[in-house]
Amino acid sequence: MQTKKGQSIEDASMQMIEDEIGTHQYNEREWPIVRRIIHSTADFDFADKNKIIFQENAIQSAMNALKKGCSIVVDVNGVIGLLNKQNPKDFGNKIVCKISEPDIMKIAKLEGKTRSQVSMREAKAEIDGGIVAIGNAPTALLEVIEMVKEGIVKPALIIGIPVGFICAVESKEALAKLENTPFITNLGRKGGSSSASAIINAIFKLIRAELSS
């Protein structure tokens, strides 16, 4: 929970974003998510038209799943560190990150894959019907996309916003072309753990607003 002082700082920051951005192309559900990404990164480029891409059913699908207590699978522990811990506690969501497990390294070496790829395969039970949030590892995102195509998993939402140079852009382009799967992604090299966690935090905030209305 925020302290009164902390909340006042956050509110002032959000108002500053509103004032600097002015008009934008996002709808009433998309904008709070984009604004939260901007707040977490101080990067106003995310407000550009179509910089963040929302599959048409992405937000509602994620809200429905999170309210039912679905798992949240992340690529790195850095995403977990930036999540509002009260949300999964209140809604019963399990947070899953397998990348540091000893067996993941063994399997990755044996199969000639990255730990990120293997960690996604090993989390398939939690990914199916759950939320996947990838902020750092393009190979993790490509692996999830492949798993969807193979019919192994059907996530309620894929957040694919890895930062970087090698395969980051390409993995997000591949996600944007994925059919019949809810996703949120972005154009370009930018992204990261802060962006991935910001999206989850913002969706929970939408849920709380809906439940209190």
Buried b (16+ CB within 10 A) or exposed e, 124-143: eebbbebbbbbbbbbbbbbb
Q: At what angle do helices 115-122 and 102-111 cross, to 10 degrees?
A: 110
Residue 8 pLDDT: 82
CATH code for the domain in which residue 119 is found: 3.40.50.10230
Collect the ranges in the chain with pLDDT lower than 70: 1-2
In a domain, 194, yes or no: yes
In a domain, 59, yes or no: yes
Residue 1 pLDDT: 59
Q: Cβ contacts of residue 196 below 8 Å, gap of 6+?
A: 74, 79, 133, 134, 135, 159, 161
> Which class for 184: exposed (0-12), middle (13-18), buried (19 or more C-beta within 10 A)?
buried
- 72-74 and 95-96: which strand pairing? parallel
In a domain, 151, yes or no: yes
Residue 2 pLDDT: 65
In a domain, 83, yes or no: yes
In a domain, 152, yes or no: yes
In a domain, 89, yes or no: yes
In a domain, 128, yes or no: yes
pTM: 0.94
Q: Which domain holds residue 95?
A: 50-212
Annotated catalytic, 39?
yes
C-beta of residue 35 within 8 angstroms of C-beta of residue 131: no
Residue 132 pLDDT: 98
What is the distance between the alpha carbons of residues 109 and 92, in angstroms, rounded to a whole number? 34
In a domain, 2, yes or no: no
Encoded tokens for 198: 């910001």
Give me the catalytic one of 30, 34, 35, 39: 39
Please state the domain count of the chain.
1
